[in-house]
Structure 1
Amino acid sequence: MIEYYDPETYPKEWNYLQSGTIIDQYMIERELAHGGFSSVYLARQMADQIQVAIKEYLPRKLAHRTWNNVVVANSEQTQSLFRRGRSLFFEEAKVLATLKHPNIVEVINFFEANSTVYMVMVYDYGITLDKILKNKTVAVTEDFLRAVFGTLLAGVGHIHSHHVLHLDIKPANILVRPGSDSLLLDFGALQTFPHSQLSKQIKILTKGFSPIEQYHQNARMGPWSDIYAIGASMRACIEARTPVPAPERVRHDTLVSAVKAFKRGYSEPFLKAVDWAMELNPKNRPQSVAELQEALAGE
């Protein structure tokens, strides 16, 4: 049975690792981010004091942290799902450790401790795109979006070339570094294609960004699935709000095309590319990152 999880609606009260906690060769400094399956911390390597980001597997619906930081299943009924998820998290870390690219978060270590799994990543300085949109810290011009999504597409194209799908691309998972250079974060929904070897018991969905095929258990997913999420993320930047969720669009599509709605502020090739990426029918979208890149270039 597949359980669907929407990270936007999950409770915010977490039981975090405390500052000063030592795990393996790292000391926790503070919590950076959280989700239904994990938390991310800023930490330091004790040997050289270099800062890193550490992601801890802790699915709150299945397990909890005890007084001595050991993670245990909530019940006998959730034990098998917790162990299955832990194994998949470890597999995710191993896959990510092989995907080296300037625009993809870099995994430098992974290990088991406290009856769970930890993933150690290079800590990059920047602001996630959702916070930029919320705080209006940068003018969302076409040049800015072309820079951010141009570098993002380079990273996504790299993971697709290794037959890996991200399946949770959204502004919150795009770190914008100086020079509008992007870094793709959080591969918690990662799956391989065309034949998935990392099929999960829990599908991650984000309303407004997940394509319609991601809502169906046996639907075929591919690069076009990530491309919908990229198009939706670009639309969210232009419109300053989350796009209409795909299931609602299937029932009654009220989404006005970007070409019609925003023609005064952006070029036609750019807006056409956004509309094409957000086609509901997977077959009607760009089938590869290269096709979307060509569309953005007006080719």
Structure 2
Amino acid sequence: MASAQTQVEMERRLMNELPHALPELLANDLKTSFNEVDYIGSGSFGAVRRCYHDRLGEVAVKCTELTGTPEDMICSWNSFKTEAHVLARINHPNIVEVCAVTTWNSNVGLILEYVGGKTLANLIKDKQIQFSRSTGLQLIHQLSAAINYLHTLDSQKKFTHGDIKASNILITPQFVLKLADFGAANVRAATGCQSSSLTLDISTVHTLLYSAPEILNGEGYNEHARDVYSFAVVTYEIVTERLASDDFLGMNSLALIGAIKDEQRPDAERFDANDPMKSIVVSCWSQNPSNRPKIKNVEEEVRGIIKDEFGDETETNETATFEIPEPSQASNRVGLDQFFALSK
């Protein structure tokens, strides 16, 4: 752990490097509560909380505490700053929008649009919903469009996601897909940070299932091809309405790594025999990354399938049956800085 003086000095230096492309809001103006409806999720970076702002309304704040050694703090800061810089440049209806940043004590927060919905993983796991063919294809097209936007955003085509999986995909009750969580994915290329909290966690079977074999082999890899592989697994889950992990029950991490290296994939025979999505998925999860199609071509193919099956219909009119939790009582909310102080 860094000494108190070293940590204070490091915090001061890092806080002076806030992304200038985004406005900074006071943490005390972002209100949250101890009610479970204001807890969205957590990860190695920290926690995501539902907050309320007088001007922005409901937002989601991804909170990261800068602690540990100076190296740990720098890696956490680089992850936060990289995600902020990346999202500040992005404007796409199927990618979570960043609004601002905030700081308090030794914490930084990325303020994102609040997506009133649930993760694709939870919807499938809890059997909360059945996708019609039309809705499923629309979701797949939205995902491919979001990835294609990322891959072609920069003239040098360096943008990628790198961690596409069902738990990083949000679905609204109106069946709008939102791709989220850009932190760890971009930090390696941008900063060279190799903190274990920012790289692939090979201890979780569910994350492994979305990981291209060249990554598990420790080889050099094409970031875009990596995203295409992950897209294939998510597409399989949408079409079959089952998590890919259900096809590998009983396998531990090492066994699963071996299976993926040996070209085992989720059971593509679960597709209808004449479903054109089957060949797309199989090509996208090819063992050899050079054999995977560009996501631009995939998006065009999916759009063509939708037109063939449903004409010029471009949006689903269906609405999901799951409900979004009501906001917490305003009287129970405190500023984000005060919330974390009270939580210790």
Question: Which band: TM-score by shorter chain?
Answer: 0.7 to 0.9
Paired residues of 2:119 and 2:171 also in contact (CA < 8 A): yes
State the AA in 1 paired with 2:258.
Answer: E
Q: Structure 2 residue aligned with 1:181, among 173, 176, 180?
A: 176
SS of 1:274's partner is: helix
Alignment of 1:61-76 (within 5 A): 71-73=66-68
Displacement of 1:247 in angstroms is 2.8
1:54 aligns with 2:58: no
Calculate the TM-score normalised by the size of structure 2.
0.67
Distance 1:255 1:186, change over 3 A: closer
Displacement of 1:110 in angstroms is 1.3
Q: Structure 2 residue aligned with 1:164, among 149, 152, 159?
A: 159
Displacement of 1:113 in angstroms is 2.3
Displacement of 1:85 in angstroms is 2.2
* Deviation readout 1:139-170 (Å, 9 max, x if unpaired): 13432221111112111111111231111111
Distance 1:251 1:212, change over 3 A: closer
More deviation, 230-239/269-278: 230-239
1:204 aligns with 2:200: yes
Displacement of 1:49 in angstroms is 7.0
1:83 aligns with 2:71: no
Paired residues of 1:164 and 1:190 also in contact (CA < 8 A): no
Alignment partners' CA distance in 2, 1:220 and 1:253: 17
Paired residues of 2:217 and 2:261 also in contact (CA < 8 A): no
Q: Structure 2 residue aligned with 1:242, among 236, 241, 244?
A: 244
Distance 1:49 1:228, change over 3 A: closer
1:28 aligns with 2:32: yes
Identical columns (%): 24
Larger proportion of helix:
2
Paired residues of 1:165 and 1:223 also in contact (CA < 8 A): yes
Distance 1:49 1:81, change over 3 A: closer
Alignment partners' CA distance in 1, 2:79 and 2:280: 34
Alignment partners' CA distance in 2, 1:177 and 1:256: 26
Displacement of 1:217 in angstroms is 5.1
Unmatched 5+ residue regions in structure 1? 1-21, 59-70
State the AA in 1 paired with 2:42.
Answer: H
More deviation, 96-105/23-32: 23-32
Alignment partners' CA distance in 2, 1:56 and 1:253: 38
Calculate the TM-score normalised by the size of structure 1.
0.76
Alignment partners' CA distance in 2, 1:168 and 1:278: 15
Distance 1:280 1:24, change over 3 A: farther
Alignment partners' CA distance in 1, 2:47 and 2:159: 23
Distance 1:37 1:72, change over 3 A: same
* Deviation readout 1:9-49 (Å, 9 max, x if unpaired): xxxxxxxxxxxxx824211232211112221000011x347
SS of 2:178's partner is: strand
Alignment partners' CA distance in 1, 2:108 and 2:266: 44
Paired residues of 2:162 and 2:227 also in contact (CA < 8 A): yes
Paired residues of 1:160 and 1:223 also in contact (CA < 8 A): yes
Alignment of 1:1-299 (within 5 A): 23-29=27-33, 30-45=38-53, 47-48=54-55, 50-58=57-65, 71-73=66-68, 78-162=69-153, 163-191=158-186, 196-201=189-194, 202-205=198-201, 206-215=207-216, 219-237=220-238, 238=240, 240-243=242-245, 247-255=257-265, 258=268, 260-263=269-272, 267-286=274-293, 288-296=294-302, 297=304
* Deviation readout 1:242-288 (Å, 9 max, x if unpaired): 25587333443343662x34225xx43111111111112211111x2
- Count of equivalent residues: 255
Alignment partners' CA distance in 2, 1:83 and 1:196: 15
Paired residues of 1:191 and 1:199 also in contact (CA < 8 A): no
Q: Which has the larger radius of gyration?
A: 2
SS of 1:150's partner is: helix
Displacement of 1:292 in angstroms is 1.4
Larger proportion of strand:
1
Paired residues of 1:26 and 1:44 also in contact (CA < 8 A): yes
Alignment partners' CA distance in 2, 1:239 and 1:53: 28
Displacement of 1:198 in angstroms is 3.8
Paired residues of 2:131 and 2:241 also in contact (CA < 8 A): no
Post-superposition, which runs of at least 4 consecutive aligned residues in structure 1 deviate over 4 A? 243-246
Alignment partners' CA distance in 2, 1:91 and 1:276: 31
Unmatched 5+ residue regions in structure 2? 1-25, 202-206, 309-344
Larger relative contact order, structure 1 or 2 (CA cutoff 8 Å, min sep 6): 2
State the AA in 2 paired with 1:183.
Answer: K
Alignment partners' CA distance in 1, 2:89 and 2:138: 26
